[in-house]
Chains A and B, each alone.
Chain A
């Protein structure tokens, strides 16, 4: 069974500083994808960054980057130059092929507060 674990229920960071959110996963699949989604108080789930498991290079999107360690099954998110608008729930998610569709398994989330 596929599982996603986020071990940090809550985190806080000062504005302009860097913070890293942790995620580990368990799977026997070889072909899969990893995501970080952000859910602000508006409740809409917003894609932050995506990593294909077959790619060795870590994904980067502006201030957001990941540290993907496939052997360790670890997928952490680094937010640089944190901004007040980064305050949100952050979910790590794992996607794999299941028959004729793809399944998305989610962690429990990390609540990030960016303090002024």
Chain B
């Protein structure tokens, strides 16, 4: 079975642009979470979605938004990119109520 897949793997944008990151969960997993990992730090929680509904939101500005589709895949959108948005964006999926998260390999976003 395929694991969590994220696309693209790498992305370069300039300040002010917007970006869309995509995530496909493990088959059967209905919960998807997004994390931002700045170089040299641990991941920071951005969003969690379950059954297309937002279950949780971290301390990120409104420039960050996400959604989950009927097939449980998810998109993370970031508008008006800032240099500080440069980071590895990780997606994780899980079964509802499960403790263990399964992560993808992330999207490395560079904002110039």
Contacts and interface: CB of A to CB of B under 8 A. Distances in A.
Interface of A: 4, 33, 42-47, 50, 91, 93, 95, 98-104, 106-109
Interface range on chain B (Cβ under 8 Å from partner): 20 to 34
A103 B33 CA distance: 10
Consensus secondary structure, chain B interface = strand
B84 interface: no
Nearest to A111: B40
Contacts, number: 51
A106 B33 CA distance: 14
Contact of B42 (A43, A93, A95): A93
A53 to B, nearest CB: 12
B30 to A, nearest CB: 13
Interface of B: 33, 40-45, 48, 50, 55-56, 88, 90, 92, 99-106, 108
Given A43-B88, A50-B99, A100-B55, 18 more contacts: A42-B105, A43-B90, A43-B106, A44-B106, A45-B92, A45-B101, A50-B100, A91-B42, A93-B42, A95-B99, A99-B56, A101-B48, A104-B33, A104-B45, A104-B101, A106-B42, A106-B43, A107-B42
B106 A101 contact: no
A93 B100 CA distance: 12
B36 to A, nearest CB: 11
A51 B101 CA distance: 14
A47 B100 contact: yes
For A43, A95, A98, which residue has the most chain B Cβ atoms within 10 angstroms? A43
Given A43-B88, A44-B105, A44-B106, A101 B40 contact: no
